[in-house]
Structures are given as C-alpha cells and as structure tokens.
Amino acid sequence: MTRTLEQWLDHQQRVHARGVDLGLERVRAVWERMGAPRLAPVAITVGGTNGKGSTVAFLEAMLAAAGKRVGAYTSPHLLRYNERVRIDGADADDAALVAAFERIEAARGEIPLTYFEYGTLAALDLFARAALDVALLEVGLGGRLDAVNIVDADAAIVTTIGLDHMDWLGADRDSIGREKAGIFRAGRPAVIGEADPPHGLLEAAARCGARVLRAGRDFDARLHAGGWRWTGWREDAGGDAAGWPPHADLPAPVLQAPSQIANAAAAISALYALRDRLGWDTRALAQGVAAARVRGRLEHLGGDPELVVDVAHNPQAATELAAWLDAHPPRGRVLAAYGALSDKDVAGVAAALGARIAHWHLGGLEAETPRGLPAPALAERFAAGLPAASFSLHADMAGALAAARAQAQPGDRILAFGSFYVAAAALRSAEAAAARPRARV
C-alpha cells in the first residue's frame, strides 16, 4: 500500500517507543544499508543552543549567491514538514519525501527509528541524489549523539551554548558544550560563534584535534555606519597582498535579533576556512547576508496593533528578545501570547522578559504535542519566575492569540513567542486573517 506523506509521518511516530532516543548506532546502520552515498563535495554541520536555523539560512543564501547548488536540512518545521528539506531553495515535495521514506523502510528491517531519524535519513538520501555542491545539516538536539552526526562534515559550527535540553545534555554549560562539540572533527574547521564559550566546549574541541576558529579571537564582527565588517585571521603569509587580514564589508541583515550578525559572522568564517574548495566572493557574501530569511525569527506580520512572531524558547533566546524589545519599543504596550514545552525553563524565560510585557496570555500546548504544557502547569512555572506579572490562561494558543488581539489597542505590539507550535499558530492565524474577504465600506 502506498502511503501519503501524512500517513508516513503518523507511521514514524509509532515505530519507536520513545520520541527522543539519542544515539548513532541505529541510524548509521540503516544509512550503511542504503549504501551511505556521499551527500556533496562539501558538507557543513551547524549545532548550538540558539541560532542554528539562522546560521544555516545565511550559509544557504551566501552559497546560492555564489552560484552553488545547496541542500539544507533544518528542524523543526513551522507549517509544513516539507520545510525541513530544501534543495536549491525549494522545499522537498511530498512525492520526493515519500519515495525517500520508502527506501528507508526497505533498508531498516528490524531496526526501530525515531521520527527525527527518519527525517534525517530522508534528507541525506535526497541530498545524495541531487548533485549538490554543498550540503548544510542542522543538528536537532545536542551534537555528539544526534542523528546528523553520522556525517563527517568538512566544517562544523557551534553557534552558542545555553541552558536547554538539560535532561539529555547536562545541567551546566560545560556539560552541554562537550555534547555540542561532538560534531567537530580532527583537523577540520570548528567555528565557535560566541566569544565566551564554556571551557567544556573548548576542551572537547582541543581533545578531538579540530582546527578551532573562535569569535573574538580568530574572526570578528564590527558595526560601522550603514552595516558591519567581518574580519578574519591572518594567514602565515600575512593576509592579503597589502598585508591586511581578510575582511568583508556587509549590509545589515534583514533578520533582526542582535545575535544575527554573530550568526552571519560564524557562517562567513566557515566559508573562509573552506575557500580553497568553495571560492571566496565577498559580493556573494553581502548578497547572502541581505537575502537570508527564516520564518518565525522576529517576523513582523504587520497590522496595528502589530503582530511579531519569534521562536525564543529558552532563557538565552529570551534575553536576546528582551534586547530587541529595548531597542525597538512600540508606541504602546507589549502583550505576549506565550506557550512552552514541558522541558523548557519557563521561569527563566519569564524573568528575562520581566516588566517589558504588560500582560501575558498563556496558552496550553498539550493538544499539539505530548510534550506541551497545559495552561495551568505553564502558569505555575511562569509565576515562579515573574510572580508580580499580569497574566491570563487560555486552553490553547488560538485562544491566547484571540484574547491578545481583543485586548490590544492601536500602537500596541502583540508578541507571539515560545515554542515553534506558538509561532505556527500565529502564522496560521495571520494567513487565515489575510485570506478573509474585507468588508465593504
């Protein structure tokens, strides 16, 4: 029987008893049964706590501007599963994904795979068939034991290290950093996107013999009038013909969070490290920085009151969001529609935003995923981080968004943020509103 894509995704949820089961043995065994073909002449892996999807987007846009055929694997998706696999900028269609899942099922035999492992193998399979120049792979969770890590990437990037997924990765930044460093390889570029990484990350990178390129030491990003400059490290020959270190003058990215320049700088550093194989075109870098887009990252959906959507779901990301709110205050109040998964530090997120939010509309996510927090449990955790805040409870995010709209006045900003499920609900709501016929005046 031929399954549809939705039927395949439902089937995958039932093959493995656990939704998350980190380890490379199962997925590597199936990939080897599929022949383990080469994905592309160059593969780049991107890990980290926050900023992975944006960094992949910068890489994808810069490489495309340079004329490269690029495949990008990211997760999770927002509106359609197909978003996870892109080839030459286009989402994989249902037929291609279904064909890949059929090949995986024929190869796996008795080996149980998780939902994420199926998706990773499908991306690898489609990339290997697509005659790519470059394959970009975003780590799902951690690094060392994530399914993506069966690929020995030519370069790897770790964007940031924050406290998230601690049940699987460890209780502190050092432990989490060691897990993230598992994507590094001996002798190959290992780009670290933050200037103050935990010792555990640096220690693990040194132990594996990776060629570490660290923000603030081996490359830098400096703002200037009208944009910013990426500056790289001097080579043994002393830089360019004039003796200066390599550099690129770049426009401000459309992606607005303060960390986006750091993400772009890390992406450029990986491309510079691979320049002998990919070339070095500063015009393509500038075009890519200006062109990169990722849905749900401080995405403005317009209106008055305006609606802004963001996937900030941990304290590190919430701190970035707070900095953006401080730099871009609305004319009126900020009203939040917020939901979270059960493994998230809700109190830490609430504390990071603090008094910037006039009122919180807390929505339940238990109908979306078994990991979703119901509104009462969300409120209990929220109050621990921000006990004096004004908030109300809603059974789901549709209710939270509707209540925020009803409360908002012209000049206010509605901030829908937290889980990817929150962002998806806000995007669907905005699309539905845009599709409704306007009343005649």
- What's the confidence (pLDDT) of residue 225? 81
> So what's the pLDDT on residue 242?
47
Q: Which of 77-81, 365-369, 430-434 has the lowest mean pLDDT?
A: 430-434
Of 4-18, 115-129, 402-416, give the lowest mean pLDDT range: 4-18
Confidence of residue 239 (pLDDT cuts 50, 70, 90): very low
Mean pLDDT of 41-45: 98
| Mean pLDDT, residues 146-164 | 94
Provide, for the chain, the percentages of residues in helix, strand and coil under a 3-state DSSP scheme, each rounded to the nearest 5: 40, 20, 40
Question: Residue holding tokens 């504390």?
Answer: 351
Q: Pick from 157, 148, 88: which is nearest to 114 by CA?
A: 148
pLDDT of 440: 52
In a shared domain, residues 387 and 324: yes
Residue 432 forms part of a structural domain: no
Closest by CA position to 298, among listed 335, 272, 265, 260: 260
Residues in CB range of 173: below 8 A, 6 or more apart: 161, 162, 163, 198, 200
Nearest 5°: phi and psi at 362?
-90, 120
Say what the pLDDT of residue 16 is: 83
Residue type, 116: F
Among 63-72, 133-142, 211-220, 429-438, the minimum mean pLDDT is found in: 429-438
Residues 153 and 100 occupy one common structural domain: yes
The rounded Cα 267 to chain-centroid distance in angstroms is 13
Q: Count the neighbouring beta carbons within 10 Å of the beta carbon of residue 8.
A: 21
Q: What is the rounded average pLDDT of the residues 153-182? A: 89
pLDDT at residue 1 greater than cutoff 70: no
Per-residue confidence (pLDDT) for residue 167, from 0 to 100: 77
* Residue 440 belongs to a domain: no
Residue 358: what pLDDT?
A: 98
Lowest model confidence (mean pLDDT) among 257-261, 263-267, 324-328, 335-339: 257-261
* Least confident window among 12-16, 95-99, 294-298, 435-439: 435-439
Q: Residue 376's pLDDT is what?
A: 98
Range 178-193 average pLDDT = 97
Instruction: Determine, yes or no, domain membership for 174.
Output: yes
CATH number, residue 97: 3.40.1190.10
Task: Tell me the C-alpha distance between 296 and 293, whole Å.
Answer: 10
pLDDT in tens, 268-295: 999 999 999 999 999 999 999 999 999 9
Pair 241, 316 in one domain: no
Q: Does some domain include residue 437?
A: no
**The dihedral of CA 272, 278, 284, 288: what is its sign?**
negative
Q: Which residue has the higher pLDDT, 142 or 38?
A: 38
- Tell which wins on pLDDT, 142 or 439: 142
Pair 141, 272 in one domain: yes
What confidence category does residue 429 fall into, taking pLDDT thresholds of 50, 70 and 90? confident
- Separation between Cα atoms, residue 84 and residue 55, nearest integer Å: 15
Q: Would you state the pLDDT for residue 22?
A: 82
Q: Check pLDDT > 60 for residue 264.
A: yes
Query: Is the per-residue pLDDT at 6 higher than 60?
Result: yes
Helix ranges, 34-172 (H) = 52-65, 94-108, 115-128, 166-169
pLDDT range class, residue 87, cuts 50, 70, 90: very high
Same domain? For 341 and 248 the reply is: no
Q: Which of 253, 270, 291 is the endpoint of a domain? A: 291
Total number of domains constituting the chain: 2
**Tokens representing residue 276 in the block:** 């002998």
User: Does 106 lie in the same domain as 166?
Assistant: yes
| CB proximity list for 271: less than 8 A, separation 6 or greater | 59, 62, 63, 278, 280, 285
What pLDDT score does 141 carry?
A: 87
92 part of a folded domain = yes
**Closest to 99 in 3D by CA, of 13, 34, 181:** 34
Q: Do 61 and 103 fall within a single domain? A: yes
Q: What is the DSSP letter of 4?
A: P
Kindly state the average pLDDT of the residues 105-112. Answer: 96
Domain membership of residue 303 as a residue range: 299-427
The whole-chain average pLDDT of the chain stands at 93
pLDDT at 441 over 50: no
- The end-to-end CA distance of the chain, in Å, is 53
- Cβ(159)–Cβ(263) below 8 Å: yes
The residue among 435 and 176 whose pLDDT is bigger is 176
- Taking the CA atoms of 276, 280, 284 and 289 in sequence, report the sign of the dihedral they define: positive
Q: Model pTM?
A: 0.94
Q: What is the pLDDT of residue 237?
A: 42
Strands (E), 311-419: 334-339, 359-363, 391-394, 413-418
Task: Say which CATH number the domain at 359 has.
Answer: 3.90.190.20
Domain-ending residue, one of 251, 272, 291: 291
The answer to the question of residue 439 being in a domain is: no
- Residue 251 pLDDT: 95
Q: For residue 174, give both structure tokens.
A: 């050092």
Of 273, 291, 309, which one is at a domain's C-terminal end? 291
Give buried/exposed letters for 208-247 (b at 16+ CB in 10 A, else e). bebbbbbbeebbbbeeeeeebebbbbeeeeeeeeeeeebb
- Looking at the structure, tell me whether residues 279 and 314 fall in a common domain: no
- Whether 244 shows a pLDDT value over 90: the answer reads no
The confidence score (pLDDT) of residue 93 equals 98
Whether 436 is in a domain gets the answer: no
Answer yes or no: is 434 within a domain. Answer: no
